[in-house]
Structure 1
């Protein structure tokens, strides 16, 4: 049985979530009405996974999460609203140590809970398999202290520190494509913040997220990266020194317009399960550039999005990097790439930026 603690101040949400997981047959469910009560329940119940609302009285979700990760480390799935404020708080929670999040649907919860149920159960089941390591938590706290808390001390773009290693001219255009899902934002921090401002190729990122989350994600990354980070909401020319984050609830495709490579937000294609689709991004790029001018990176995430396309990319002469199992929150996507024989190399998350620079520069 999977021991699940639901932390939620709304009596209706507690009831609905309890019904969902009780109906699965393999969950033992306990409840807490706020963060303070949750900490008391956790010490005795020892849950395999926690769902944690962000906005609660007495002790909110972020404070509670921080205490959980320090005192009783276990996988936590945040329950967030689909607002910009909710997105920013959720991204902060992922930095603190939450494994994943689920966005509450708009409107009457009782009428839209059926739509939420399959993805919620899938996320909670996946989270229950994650083993939180105290050493990983320490690394996340150091990164948090450097990037989130002292935002007022961040240097202007022109003065930002970046790795001292010089960039050499690659001599040809190319694109780096990164795909990630569960556990992705902290992994993106670790990779993208270590690329220097003179990085020679544009970087395109497909992170599985709702549309209201990817804009705040891009803004958050822009504050910690030497490269300029923006969300792709319309046709955008791809330029060196830039990172382009796919808009959520849509797909991102690479195309050629007037002799220039562009990225475009396209309506999500239901032939692909996850969005923004990593598979679709990679396959669209392969139509407009030789495989040798493409690098694909697949990092933490459940499922297999991107694995087949990146395996085909490697077979065609492209280069691919899979995040190593020991640093991935969920080794679904990169693990599938390895299983298909599609990884040119396997790297811990903290090694990926250096490996990328060796290949591109």
Structure 2
């Protein structure tokens, strides 16, 4: 049985979630009305997984989560409203160590519980198996460990001597036809993106395109948060956007990001989620579109923590065609699903713990 602690100040929400988990048959459920009660139950109930509301009295979700990760690290799934404030707080919670987020229904939960329940159950079951022992505040540790080797440059410093990327295995890309880096992640992805992107310098010579499985309400706040942490400029792709070196492009949630070639260069587009792909934004579809606009030798793929197999097939084919790929190792992945599938397919040029992926990307052969 999975012991789950449901933390929410709404009696109606607690009752509806109790019905969902008890009907599933594999959960033992306990409840807390706020963060203070949740912390009191950590030792007595010893939950395998926690669902945590963001906005609560006495001790809100962010403060409670921070204490959980210090006192008894436990997989946490945030239940968030779709308001702008709720989305921004939820992204901050993911950075603090929550492994995933489920958006509360925009209408009354009692009216949408049948559609909401299966998604919640799948997310919580995955979270209960997550490894979180090394994710808490990992980005800060990565910045410290790599500071001597890689110093992020201020964004406003002139980029006067851009060098070709140290990526690809068949010679450097020219400045007029730079390569691309495709990054895919899912459960546990936001802290992993912190750790990957924060150490990279402002003059990193290839654009970086990111598909993070996440609802639409949260990808904009995620991009803004990363933009504040990184020397690279980070934006969410909501309209056709020409990709440029030194910039990171976050795919919009509940949609897919694809790349197309136009006379002016390579553009990232936000496209409706394709039914052939289960997870969105789809890493597989993004990587396939990248392979359609550039040769494999000018592409790099990075697959990090996440359930399922999204991106593994396309990145394995990229390596077979002469591109460079990196899979996060099992020891640091919150969920070793996506990178594990890439490794099992023989598609990883490099397998590295999260804190070493940035260095591997910078040192990839020309």
CA–CA distance in 1 between the matches of 2:56 and 2:191? 25
Give the C-alpha shift of residue 267 in structure 1: 0.6
1:308 aligns to 2:317 (yes or no):
no
Higher relative contact order (CA 8 A, sep 6+): 2
Structure 1 portions without partners, runs of 5+ = 146-153
1:100 aligns to 2:100 (yes or no):
yes
Give the C-alpha shift of residue 132 in structure 1: 3.0
Change in CA separation of 1:360 and 1:185 when aligned onto 2, cut-off 3 Å = farther
Counterpart residue number, 2:156: 158
Name the TM-score, length of structure 2 as normaliser: 0.90
- Say which of 171, 177, 195 aligns to 1:190: 195
Change in CA separation of 1:155 and 1:352 when aligned onto 2, cut-off 3 Å = closer
Give the C-alpha shift of residue 315 in structure 1: 1.4
Counterpart residue number, 2:169: none
- Say which of 325, 343, 349 aligns to 1:344: 349
Name the TM-score, length of structure 1 as normaliser: 0.91
CA–CA distance in 2 between the matches of 1:139 and 1:353? 13
Counterpart residue number, 1:120: 120
CA–CA distance in 1 between the matches of 2:121 and 2:234? 33
Q: Is the 8 A contact 2:223 2:236 kept in 1?
A: yes
The alignment's C-alpha RMSD in Å is 2.2
Q: Which moved more, 1:275-284 or 1:56-65?
A: 56-65
Change in CA separation of 1:131 and 1:289 when aligned onto 2, cut-off 3 Å = closer
CA–CA distance in 1 between the matches of 2:20 and 2:331? 32
Give the C-alpha shift of residue 324 in structure 1: 0.7
Equivalent position SS for 1:157: coil
Per-residue CA distance 1:16-58 (angstroms, 9 max, x = gap): 1111110111111011111111111222010111111111111
Change in CA separation of 1:117 and 1:143 when aligned onto 2, cut-off 3 Å = farther
Per-residue CA distance 1:246-296 (angstroms, 9 max, x = gap): 111110001101151111000110110111100000111111111111101
Structure 2 portions without partners, runs of 5+ = 145-151, 166-171
Q: Is the 8 A contact 1:96 1:141 kept in 2?
A: no
Counterpart residue number, 1:73: 73
Counterpart residue number, 1:33: 33
Aligned residues: 348
Q: Is the 8 A contact 1:95 1:144 kept in 2?
A: no
CA–CA distance in 2 between the matches of 1:73 and 1:353? 26
Equivalent position SS for 1:325: coil
Q: Is the 8 A contact 2:153 2:202 kept in 1?
A: no
Q: Is the 8 A contact 2:154 2:231 kept in 1?
A: no
Counterpart residue number, 2:136: 137
Equivalent position SS for 2:200: coil
Give the C-alpha shift of residue 143 in structure 1: 7.4
Equivalent position SS for 1:15: helix
Counterpart residue number, 1:275: 280
Counterpart residue number, 1:292: 297
Equivalent position SS for 2:3: strand
Counterpart residue number, 1:210: 215
CA–CA distance in 1 between the matches of 2:205 and 2:335? 30
Counterpart residue number, 2:15: 15
- Say which of 227, 230, 233 aligns to 1:228: 233
Counterpart residue number, 1:150: none
CA–CA distance in 2 between the matches of 1:117 and 1:339? 32
Q: Is the 8 A contact 1:181 1:300 kept in 2?
A: yes
